[in-house]
Amino acid sequence: MRVEVGEAMNARTESRYVKDKKIGEGTYAVVYQGTEISTQRMVAIKKIKMGHFKSGLDMSAIREVKALRELAHPNVIELIDVFSHKTNLNLVLEFLDTDLEMVIKDTDLIFKAADIKSWLLMTLRGLHHCHRNWLLHRDLKPNNLLIARDGQLKLADFGLARDYGEMTATMTSQVVTRWYRAPELLFGAKRYGYGIDIWSVGCIFAELMLRTPYLPGDTDMEQLDTIFRALGTPTEDEWPHLTSLPDYVQFKAYPKTPLRTLFTATTADALDLLEKMLVYNPVKRTSALEAIQHPYFQNLPRPTHPARLPKPAMNINEGSVAAKRRLDPG
Amino acid sequence: MVALQQNYEQSSQCRHWRFSRAKLHEIRRATNQSGIERARANIAAEKDELHQQQTQPAPDSQDDTAVNYLTLEDELALCHFYETRIETVSKYFKFPNQVKATAVVFMKRFFLYNTVMDYPPKFIMLTCLYLATKTENHFIQIEEFAKPSTLKTTPKDILDYEFIVSQSLKFEFTIHHPYSPLYGFFLDAQAVVDNMALLTQVYNKAMEWCHKSLFTDLVFLYFPSQVALAAMLLAAQDVGWDFDTYLTYKFTEPVPRQELVTILTDIAAILKAYQPITVTTVRDIDRKLIYCRNPEKDPSSLLYQKKLQQAEDAEDQRRLAKVPAKPPSTESESVAEGEGGLVD
């Protein structure tokens, strides 16, 4: 038998793809539209710039590659290949042309209740797959939920993802884009679990119904204030050990207002699920699997088939706007 | 339990890094063989270089026939030695078990398809450890990592190999160790055990066995959960705990249980047979390696310098062709120092 050393394998991988054109550039990566030569399949090649990081391969590249190498699921972006070229790392990803943020912002599109149910279900399926592999995504938001040409929604951008378990040490609370950040993170929790991703999904669910971000805070402090105004200030009773969180500060005691006041046109089962995702006590918050099994997904209307979901009218060039925006988190 | 098992079967470790004993041996044999071929061809080429440049013949230059290439057994022994050095370095930095264990597995995987005649195991060892600090969320700055003078290394030495190591790992960075399953069995066994003090002893002993397993081939042969359970079996023998009762409680079906016992017995035999390598053995191999390193990969060789120069020329050509106005870069990369000795 012949064995192939790593360098030769790498060169062979690299030779399987061509970069066609640049479609986006951010501070840490450039994205190209490319082709897998043998199949003529369109791919996205994310070239990670290494120069700015003096300690070699940088952590977000490691995290993304490490996570995606283990995850194969229709609702998680596919990492087709990885190769290095000189000092750059290249990720060959499946080509996806839009994202949920663009869909939400496209005022020409009308969402039916069944459409929202479909996007949410795909999000939860992808997330459940991550969680059952002991992986937290830690940056769920509409523009990290990419949408394929066939309508399938895929979790993407795993640059903050990490594995967790009973035995892992403390983690940083500086994760997740602010509007989608769970209250325990805002209070500086260093030990947390899948609940932080569920909170984000809850915010995305609400945003799909409202067509505007549900809890937009300008600073971390204001974020908490925004959350408490909307959902009532939590008490030690409903959230034990709340006051002993590292960055805990006392807030004005806002009353709990029923979700119904804001979500006037929504069905009771949808609101019940939303409420379970936005429970303050992380331990009591629903899990991805429980959410998937919630009556909301069994009750009518049935989720829209992905292929029939509303999609923004667009061409490749517009798609590049999405790619660019994704690389520069605001 | 079932869901987790299926999960493991989908992992890159199970899909790409699990072999039969025969297959494992075949891969290593082939790696060693092609390594020797490469080294032989390049040692000849290096001699030609020396001749052409009319430089003084190297004092230890000798006939190719006289070169003793490393055997597969030599290579394994040398790798094993450096695997155990990972422990020493980890202790210095107070890295957790997870980092250390991952680094050992990285190194094993690397030298499955590469040979020490191409890549100096000391540097690969340090690169594997540094990479493991990143993949196990225990990142430290490279300056800090390369600082201890006993390591006799520079940030460049370590980072130069980072891509080469990552490529050989197929960029698969998730490593499953027996530690987590062992902890799971420990919690689980509390359901059938009254004597917590004894069970804790079993657990601690089993940790030691799991640790030993790192330096064997078990990571390529069995599931981490199987290794953990075998470690528990051995620990039970060590401290006198009734393992069978737990096994019967845990695995109620007699036939799969009997199959499992066969596996556990095999793992236990491998663990008990483990022998650490002696420094004297390694010294001899390391000395042998000085003469059979592939000069193509040795920064102090003429062949290496020539290839480097060729690559730089090609790069300059490319840049010139691209931007004619801009003069080509004249600075050349400083060449890393060659390495001979062992880690102190």
pLDDT in tens, A273-322: 999 999 999 999 999 999 999 999 999 999 999 999 999 986 444 444 44
Please name the residues between 7 and 26 in chain B that touch chain A, using a CB distance below 8 Å. Answer: 7, 10-12, 26
Among B174, B190, B208, the domain boundary falls at B174
| Exposed/middle/buried for residue A15 (C-beta within 10 Å: 0-12, 13-18, 19+) | exposed
Three-state DSSP class for residue B294: coil
pLDDT in the model for residue B50: 78
% residues pLDDT > 90 (chain B): 60
pLDDT at B87 over 60: yes
Residues B88 and B116 in one domain: yes
In the set A97, A115, A139, A197, the catalytic residue is A139
B194, burial (CB in 10 Å: exposed 0-12, middle 13-18, buried 19+) = exposed
**What's the pTM?**
0.87
- Sign of torsion over alpha carbons A167, A173, A177, A178: positive
Give every strand in the sheet of A153-155, ordered side by side.
A98-99, A145-147, A153-155
Interface contact flag, B113 A3, Cβ < 8 Å = yes
Residues B113 and B138 grouped into a single domain? yes
B158 touches chain A (CB under 8 A): yes
Higher pLDDT pick, A4 / B60: A4
Q: What local confidence, expressed as pLDDT, does residue B64 receive?
A: 54
Asked if residue B138 is part of any domain, the answer here is yes
From A243-247, B51-55, B143-147, B178-182, the region with the lowest mean pLDDT: B51-55
What's the pLDDT tens digit per position in B3-21? 445 678 889 999 999 999 9
Same domain, B186 and B50: no
- State the Cα–Cα distance between residues B297 and B274, nearest whole angstrom: 33
HEC per residue, B228-240: HHHHHHHHHHHHC
Residue B13 Cα, gap to closest chain A Cα (Å): 9
C-beta separation of A52 from A28 below 8 A: yes
Question: Given a cut of 90, is residue B25 above it in pLDDT?
Answer: yes
- Establish if B186 belongs to a structural domain: yes
In a shared domain, residues B94 and B196: no
Q: Which residues of B touch A82 (CB under 8 A)?
A: 171
Helix (H, G, I), strand (E, B), or coil: what is residue A7?
helix
Phi, psi values for residue A12, rounded to 5°: -65, -40
Closest residue on chain A to B9 (Cα): A70
What integer pLDDT is reported at residue B310 of this predicted model?
Answer: 82
State how many domains chain B has: 2
Cβ–Cβ below 8 Å for B141 and A133:
no
First to last CA, chain B: 45
Tell me which residue of B79, B173, B192, B191 sits closest to B134, measured CA to CA.
B173
Q: Which of A266, A78, A285, A98 is nearest to A200 (CA)?
A: A285
A6-95: CATH architecture = 2-Layer Sandwich (3.30)
CA-based nearest distance B16→chain A, Å: 11
Could you tell me if B227 and B266 lie in one domain?
A: yes
A234 Cα to chain B: minimum distance (Å) = 32
Q: Does B202 touch chain A (CB under 8 A)?
A: no
Q: Which residues contact A280 (CB under 8 A, 6 or more apart)?
A: A183, A231, A234, A238, A239, A242
Residue B6 dihedral angles phi and psi, to the nearest 5°: -60, -40
Does A191 or B173 have the greater pLDDT score? B173
pLDDT at B65: 59
Same domain, yes or no: B35 and B163: yes
**Residues B166 and B219 reside in one and the same domain:** no
Evaluate whether residue B325 is within a structural domain: no
Interface test with B, best of A2, A3, A172 (most B CBs within 10 A): A3
| Residue B43 and residue B168 in one domain | yes
Where do the CATH 3.30.200.20 domains begin and end in chain A? 6-95
Which among B110, B164, B173 is the nearest to A69, CB-wise?
B173
Strand order in the sheet with A88-94: A17-25, A29-36, A41-48, A88-94, A79-85
pLDDT score of B304 more than 90 = no
**What is the distance between the alpha carbons of residues A28 and A48, in angstroms, rounded to a whole number?**
6
Nearest chain B alpha carbon to A166: B180
Instruction: Judge whether residue B343 has pLDDT over 50.
Output: no
Residue type, B100: K
Distance from CA of B142 to the nearest CA of A (A): 5
Tokens representing A306 are 């992905």
CB contact under 8 Å between A3 and B10, yes or no, is no
CB–CB contact B96 A59 (8 Å): no
- Which residues in chain A are classed under CATH 1.10.510.10? 98-308
Q: Does B183 touch chain A (CB under 8 A)?
A: yes
Helices (H), chain A: 6-15, 59-70, 100-105, 113-132, 183-186, 195-210, 220-231, 268-277, 288-292, 295-298, 316-327
Q: What is the pLDDT of residue B340?
A: 36
The per-residue pLDDT for range B232-261, each reduced to its tens digit, is 999 999 999 999 999 999 898 988 899 999
Q: Are strands A88-94 and A79-85 parallel, antiparallel or unpaired?
A: antiparallel
pLDDT in tens, B138-161: 999 999 999 988 888 899 889 889
Give the architecture (CATH level 2) of A98-308. Orthogonal Bundle (1.10)
By C-alpha distance, the chain B residue nearest A160 is B137
Quick check: is A139 catalytic? yes
Distances in Å between the alpha carbon of B87 and those of A254, A259, B115, B179, B194? 54, 55, 22, 16, 35
Tell me the chain B residues in contact with residue A1 when contact means C-beta distances shorter than 8 Å: 26-27, 30
Which residues in chain A land under pLDDT 50?
315-322, 324-325, 328-330
From B273, B294, B328, the end of a domain falls on B273
Are residue B31 and residue B161 in the same domain, yes or no? yes
Please report the pLDDT score of residue A97 as a whole number: 87
For residue B264, what pLDDT is reported?
A: 97
Q: B123-140, pLDDT tens digit by residue?
A: 999 999 999 999 999 999
Element (H, E) at A328: none
HEC letters along B90-155 = HHHHCCCHHHHHHHHHHHHHHHHHCCCCCCCHHHHHHHHHHHHHHHCCCCCCHHHHHCCHHHCCCH
Q: Is residue B278 scored above 90 in pLDDT? A: no
B-chain residues within 8 Å CB-CB of A4? 113
Q: What share of chain A is helix, strand, coil (3-state, %, to 5)?
A: 40, 15, 45
B211 and B169 in a common domain: no
Q: Which residues of A touch B (CB under 8 A)?
A: 1-7, 9-10, 54-57, 59, 62, 65-66, 69-70, 72, 82-84, 87, 89, 132-133, 162-163, 165-169, 171
> Which residues on B lie below 8 Å from A65 (Cβ)?
171, 173
Best mutation target among B137, B159, B183, B318 (most A Cβ atoms within 10 Å) is B137
Q: Given B156, B174, B192, which residue is the final one in a domain?
A: B174
Q: Whole-angstrom Cα distance, residue B162 to residue A67?
A: 19
Query: What mean pLDDT value characterizes chain B?
Result: 86
Length of chain B: 344
Q: Is residue B30 in a domain? A: yes
Task: Give me the pLDDT at residue B68, please.
Answer: 86
**What does each C-alpha distance from A174 to A185, A263, B15, B197 come to in angstroms?**
7, 30, 34, 40
Could you list the residue range(s) of the whole structural domain that residue B29 is in? 18-57+66-174
Asked if residue B165 is part of any domain, the answer here is yes
The candidate with the shortest Cα–Cα distance to A326, out of A120, A108, A144, is: A144
Look at residue B100 and tell me whether its pLDDT is greater than 90. Answer: yes
At A74, list the tokens. 């229709």
- β-strand partners of A98: A147
List the single range of A220-229, B23-32, B44-53, B263-272 with lowest mean pLDDT. Answer: B44-53
Q: Provide the 8-state DSSP code for A76.
A: B
Judge if B161 and B189 occupy the same domain. Answer: no
Q: What is the pLDDT of residue B322?
A: 63
CATH number for the domain spanning B100: value is: 1.10.472.10
**Chain A interface test: which of B102, B107, B144, B163 (most A C-beta within 10 Å):** B163
Residue B2, class by beta-carbon neighbours within 10 Å (0-12 exposed, 13-18 middle, 19+ buried)? exposed
B96/A165 Cβ within 8 A: no
Answer whether B134 sits within 8 Å of A6, measured CB to CB.
Answer: no
Question: How do residues A44-75 score in pLDDT, each as one tens digit?
Answer: 999 988 766 788 888 889 999 999 999 999 99
Kindly state whether residues B235 and B158 are assigned to the same domain. no
